[in-house]
């Protein structure tokens, strides 16, 4: 694999209790008509560099994205590192002598801070897309394949080659014409298309079903 300065850091952590808090319970996929939609971000795409802090960066992207930005503020790299450490204190593993954390831990930290209320899960791409098209962005944690590091000329990443780790990233939109989701990654604006890329709906479904997760939250509006 070429030498790349791209950190990962998502660790899988399935929990059967997630089945009690599904996106499909509030947004039925069959009730959401397909449309092209993109949720704007009020600040630039962040860059985690080689750090294993993708969960921290993905959830910060959630806070600076529409439809609710009342809790949004620009975090410094030190604050994002502190958020990552807090995630490790609240995730599924003891101590901190390991790299990475879970998507759930990020949601738990935001909930403990009073920034989000409940958070919900999708079991497949259809449920994640329905929530994305009707409620807001979705945080996804999946296996990351070598072929996903370098988007093609069309901006698409493809899960090909060996699995090199796990990564968390944000879904910010969907294109009907492409039948693909738009991703905001955390490797800076020089990566992909100004820090963004496309992933086909079929590939998203595959990644979620093969040990991935899709999570979003009800953000609390600050008065």
| Residue 150: inside a domain | yes
| Residue 87: inside a domain | yes
Per the structure, the count of domains in the chain is 1
More confident residue, 85 or 218: 85
The predicted model gives 149-155 an average pLDDT of: 97
Angle at 42 between CA 36 and CA 48, to 5 degrees: 100
CATH number of the domain within which 39 lies: 3.90.70.10
| Residue 31: inside a domain | yes
Q: What is the dihedral of CA 178, 183, 185, 189, to 10 degrees?
A: 60
| Residue 5: inside a domain | no
> b vs e for 102-127, b when ≥16 Cβ sit within 10 Å of the residue's Cβ?
bbbbbbbbbbeeebbeebbbbbbbbb
Q: Return the structure tokens found at 186.
A: 């955390």
Spatial separation of the C-alpha atoms in residues 57 and 221, rounded to whole Å: 21
| Residue 1: inside a domain | no
**57-101 pLDDT tens trace:** 999 999 999 998 766 677 888 999 999 999 999 999 999 999 999
| Residue 106: inside a domain | yes
| Residue 7: inside a domain | no
Range of the domain at 81: 16-219
């Amino acid at each position: 694999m070429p030498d790349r300065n791209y950190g990962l850091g998502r660790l899988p952590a399935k929990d059967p209790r997630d089945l009690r808090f599904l996106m499909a319970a509030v947004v039925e996929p069959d009730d959401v008509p397909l449309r092209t939609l993109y949720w704007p971000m009020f600040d630039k795409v962040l860059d985690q560099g080689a750090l294993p802090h993708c969960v921290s960066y993905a959830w910060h992207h959630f806070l600076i994205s529409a439809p609710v930005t009342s809790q949004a503020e620009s975090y410094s790299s030190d604050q994002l590192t502190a958020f990552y450490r807090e995630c490790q204190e609240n995730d599924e593993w003891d101590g901190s002598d390991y790299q990475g954390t879970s998507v759930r831990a990020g949601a738990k930290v935001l909930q403990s801070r009073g920034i989000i209320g409940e958070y919900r899960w999708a079991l497949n791409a259809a449920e994640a897309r329905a929530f994305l098209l009707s409620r807001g962005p979705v945080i996804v944690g999946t296996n990351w394949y070598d072929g996903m590091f370098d988007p093609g000329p069309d901006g698409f990443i493809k899960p090909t080659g060996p699995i090199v780790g796990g990564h968390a990233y944000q879904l910010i939109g969907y294109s009907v014409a492409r039948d693909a989701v738009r991703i905001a990654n955390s490797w800076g604006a020089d990566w992909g298309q100004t820090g963004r890329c496309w992933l086909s709906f079929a590939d998203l479904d595959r990644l979620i079903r093969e040990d991935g997760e899709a999570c979003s939250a009800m953000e609390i509006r600050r008065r």
